[in-house]
Amino acid sequence: MDTFIPSFAIMGGILLNVGAFLTYRGRIFRAVAAYLVADFCWIAMAWQRDDYWGILFIAVGILFGLLAFMKMHRGDMKKTLLKDERG
């Protein structure tokens, strides 16, 4: 009987679900960490398939995600989910 070894795509998908659940629970910083690990799983998958364009686009997404995470962590985000009281 073959042993089930999850692929990088499966591990990344599971981590994507974990990140979505953490976001739902309001644990944004932990969710971002799960999303970043999922991104690295997808980079490994793209590397195995010699998909260098995929690696490039995933890396750009990671860069923007890290920048947003740092901005959030510093408290520089001026957005809120609450509707503005002025209208």
Taking the CA atoms of 72, 75, 81 and 86 in sequence, report the sign of the dihedral they define.
negative
State the pTM of this model: 0.70
Q: Angle between the 28-48 and 8-24 helix axes, to the nearest 10 degrees?
A: 170
Give the DSSP letter string of 21-49: HHHHTT-HHHHHHHHHHHHHHHHHHHHHT
Express each pLDDT in 31-78 by its tens digit. Answer: 888 998 999 899 999 999 999 999 999 999 889 888 877 887 787 766
Which token pair is 36?
């970043």
Express each pLDDT in 9-39 by its tens digit. Answer: 889 899 999 999 999 998 888 888 899 899 9
Res 2: pLDDT: 65
- CA-CA distance, 54 to 14, in Å (whole number)? 19
